[in-house]
Structure 1
Amino acid sequence: MTLVRETSPDDATVEAISDGLDAFNLLRAGPADWSPRFVVGRDGAGAVQAGMQVVVAYEWVFVRWLWVAEPFRNQGTGSRLLESAEAIARESGCRGVYLDTFTFQAPKFYERRGYREFGRLDDFPSGHSRIWLAKRL
């Protein structure tokens, strides 16, 4: 086998790798629905001011993105988004919710809502850390 670095592989190459990993995982862990679900916050004019994307897989909800525009912060919007993620988890029969954040983002926000750190990568980016947190329901 020859290994080649490719910065822009064609769709067929990406699909072959993805399908191979999916087949391996399916045999060992069962099916997983990685389709995204969104919760969106709009202002009175309909402009997006907050939002969250989650995926449900292997009896856990993963919060891929959670964002609140500056003028709407500290008004409970982030908490309501997290409550939505937890509601999706309960409705889907999941064990809990997990996510990642950076030390320059909002780790204390998540910890105050019952999320506990289970992993950390220091100096990512330099001088900061990436943190993984979870909350069992």
Structure 2
Amino acid sequence: MREEPDAPYEDVEAVRWGLSRFNQRHAGDDSFTPVTLLLRDADGAVVGGLIGGTYWSWLYVEILWLDDAVRRQGWGSRLLARAEAIAAERNCAAVHLDTTSFQARGFYERNGYHVWGVLDDLPPGHQRFFMAKKLGVGR
């Protein structure tokens, strides 16, 4: 065993696929399908977006980011609502994500999410909140 910070992509994927095969034996195919929503300005530059995916009847929001120039204009709620609509189309029952105390907990709560877990000092001096929301569809 050794640390390989610059491991080839194929080797990293071998570990991911190994875990995926193990999970499938115990919980069935996760059928992971990406969700990628991009917000672009008039010149086509990316100024925000949501990155995540659906699996095992859940949507996972990995990243929701907006450039300062487009914050407080409703784009975050629209991105989140579109991702939730995609998840509902894919028969997902719920959404999960995490955020930190200096990020967007209040935003997610205003959009119907609740905190189900907290890690203190991640990052140091802050908290990481694990949040979820039922969609009312799916299994």
Normalised TM-score (structure 2): 0.88
Cα distance in 2 for residues equivalent to 1:40 and 1:132 = 24
Cα distance in 1 for residues equivalent to 2:19 and 2:95 = 24
Task: Quote how far apart the aligned CAs of 1:91 are.
Answer: 0.4
Task: Quote how far apart the aligned CAs of 1:33 are.
Answer: 2.8
Q: Which residue of 2 is the match for residue 132 of structure 1?
A: 130
Task: Quote how far apart the aligned CAs of 1:16 are.
Answer: 4.0
Q: Which residue of 2 is the match for residue 92 of structure 1?
A: 90
Mapping for residues 49-64 of structure 1, pairs under 5 Å: 49-64=47-62
User: What whole-Å deviation, never above 9, does each CA across 1:41-85 have from its counterpart, x for those lacking one?
Assistant: 111221111111121111000011101111111110000011011
Contact 1:54 1:65 in 2 (8 A): yes
Q: Which residue of 1 is the match for residue 77 of structure 2?
A: 79
Q: Which residue of 2 is the match for residue 113 of structure 1?
A: 111
Contact 1:37 1:55 in 2 (8 A): yes
Q: Which residue of 1 is the match for residue 20 of structure 2?
A: 22
Cα distance in 2 for residues equivalent to 1:26 and 1:65 = 25
For residue 117 of structure 1, what is the amino acid of its counterpart? V
For residue 68 of structure 1, what is the amino acid of its counterpart? L
Cα RMSD (Å) of the superposition? Answer: 1.6
SS of the residue 2:53 aligns to = strand
For residue 45 of structure 1, what is the amino acid of its counterpart? D
Cα distance in 2 for residues equivalent to 1:45 and 1:9 = 36
Q: Which runs of 5+ in 1 are unaligned?
A: none
SS of the residue 1:31 aligns to = coil
Equivalenced residue count is 135
Q: Which residue of 1 is the match for residue 30 of structure 2?
A: 32
Contact 2:49 2:66 in 1 (8 A): yes
Normalised TM-score (structure 1): 0.89
| Matched-pair identity in % | 44
Deviates more, 1:112-121 or 1:27-36: 27-36
Q: Which of the pair has the greater relative contact order for Cα pairs under 8 Å at 6+ separation?
A: 2
Cα distance in 2 for residues equivalent to 1:78 and 1:54 = 14
Q: Which runs of 5+ in 2 are unaligned?
A: none
For residue 70 of structure 2, what is the amino acid of its counterpart? F
Q: Which residue of 2 is the match for residue 122 of structure 1?
A: 120
Question: Max radius of gyration: which structure?
Answer: 1
